[in-house]
A and B are shown apart, each in its own frame.
Chain A
Amino acid sequence: GNSVTQMEGPVTLSEEAFLTINCTYTATGYPSLFWYVQYPGEGLQLLLKATKADDKGSNKGFEATYRKETTSFHLEKGSVQVSDSAVYFCALRLNTGFQKLVFGTGTRLLVSP
């Protein structure tokens, strides 16, 4: 089946620390991969995406590279800020059928000053 596995949280970091949130996937075919961010009490916002192997998505200092050989899409940021505190969801979307998103369980990031 199609699934996304994320590292369990919460991830607790000090401001300006380096962030990595691991994400691996299982999928039939060649999915598109996404990272979404959810701030407290809000819906999800698309953070970045990649549509094919070796693509790198980037936005607001966050990056993730689509690694087909390791079926991974790890999220990284060189220097986190308090305002980055949120829940991050890795997701895949199959490019056939209804093309629904399959989400990981989410990883909560807590950044302290």
Chain B
Amino acid sequence: GAVVSQHPSRVICKSGTSVKIECRSLDFQATTMFWYRQFPKQSLMLMATSNEGSKATYEQGVEKDKFLINHASLTLSTLTVTSAHPEDSSFYICSASPRPLTQGYGYTFGSGTRLTVV
């Protein structure tokens, strides 16, 4: 089955530094990947849609310069949290879908990254 690998699973960083999170589709090509943020006991908030070879499409209210997304290949997308602050601490999850996209196919999610900014 489709597998999405997300790394790291946990990261602690100092305020003001940058952190990169990787999302890889291991056994399929993913034209589109999605990045979500989940606050404690809340639902997933879509941050951006990442398309291979083009700029990401950000949801309203998400800072493009703070959350840099790169989708350089059909199997890899990265999210970089720049100049991290404690309020950026959260659970970040990526998801991807095989190419070509078929109706009714649920996206495969990575296992998530717990970011703690101290």
Contact = CB atoms under 8 A, between A and B. Distances in A.
Contacts of A99: 32, 97, 101
A83 B106 CA distance: 23
Interface in B19-70: 32, 34, 41-44, 46, 49, 57
Interface of A: 32, 34, 36, 41-46, 49-51, 89, 93, 95, 98-101, 103-106, 108
Contacts of A41: 112, 114
B106 A98 contact: no
B93 A43 contact: yes
A71 to B, nearest CB: 17
Given A42-B112, A43-B112, A44-B93, A101 B107 contact: yes
A36 B110 CA distance: 13
A68 to B, nearest CB: 15
B111 interface: yes
A90 B40 CA distance: 18
Contacts of A106: 42-43
B6 A43 contact: yes
